[in-house]
Each structure stands twice: as C-alpha cells, then as structure tokens.
C-alpha cells in the first residue's frame, strides 16, 4: 500500500519536470529541427495518406489546411499537386511552416485562426502543440 501512495505523490513531480523540460529552448529547437526533417522526408505513412487524399484532390485543387500545425497534410496535398492555404495561429508551428514551404509558390501560410465569424479569440495553448485549441 505505501508503494502505491508513493507513486501517486511522485506523479505531479514527474509531470512538473516533464513540463519544465518541454519548455526549454533546447527542447523547442529539437522539436523544430525534427519537424523540418519530417517534412523533408517521405514515409510509408505518407504514402497511405496520399492514397486517401487522392480520392478528393487533383493537381488543380485549391486546398485549405485549417489548423495546419507543422504541415503534415500540407506536405501530402502538395505532393498531389494541389495549391494549399495553410492556416495556423501558433508561432512555433508557423516557424516550421514558413521555413519548410518558403520556396514553394503553391503554399500560402496565414498566421491566423479560423472561426465562424471575424473577430478575436483566445487560443488555449499547450506545450504539446497538437493539443492547442480555440475550444475549452
């Protein structure tokens, strides 16, 4: 029984250190570099995604990647020949998108969020960029 109690007490401490490590400049630089490497390479999973999206897109398609995040789908849409408007409000994701697609005239990156009406909204940002949202 005491061992279980120790594990429960340790969990918040582990979470605290995990959060602390994720927010260091070194961790951010590593994630940035890894994201760029993933966008510049092609994997078997990318082939699966390309096959799926090929049902909907052609080389003349205009595609909106809303909540583009690090550009995983933008990469697939471009491989299919579609022009892409990537919409993303998170600064760390925008840095990757701008760098990865800077030389690609078929990609337009918008540093904005998308909503039902014009205005402003609060972005609930997470250390895990895929979990950030305009929704609570």
Domains of the chain with bracketed CATH: 2-131 (3.40.50)
> Would the pLDDT of 4 be above 70?
no
Would the pLDDT of 31 be above 70? Answer: yes
| Cα three-residue angle 9-14-128, rounded to 5 degrees | 135
At residue 104, the pLDDT reads 97
Task: State the Cα torsion 107-112-114-120 to the nearest 10°.
Answer: -170
Looking at the predicted structure, is the pLDDT value of residue 46 above 90?
yes
pLDDT digit string, tens, across residues 72-128 = 999 999 999 999 999 999 888 999 999 999 999 999 999 998 888 899 887 777 666
């Amino acid at each position: 029984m005491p061992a279980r109690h120790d594990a429960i007490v340790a969990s918040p401490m582990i979470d605290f250190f995990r959060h602390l490590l994720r927010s260091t400049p070194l961790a951010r630089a590593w994630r940035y570099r890894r994201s760029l490497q993933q966008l510049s390479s092609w994997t078997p999973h990318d082939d699966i995604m390309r096959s799926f999206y090929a049902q909907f897109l052609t080389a003349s398609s205009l595609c909106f990647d809303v909540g583009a995040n690090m550009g995983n789908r933008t990469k697939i849409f471009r491989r299919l020949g579609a022009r892409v408007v990537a919409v993303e409000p998170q600064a760390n994701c925008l840095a990757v998108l701008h760098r990865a697609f800077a030389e690609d005239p078929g990609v337009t990156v918008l540093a904005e969020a998308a909503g039902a009406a014009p205005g402003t909204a609060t972005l609930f940002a997470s250390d895990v960029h895929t979990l950030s949202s305009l929704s609570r």
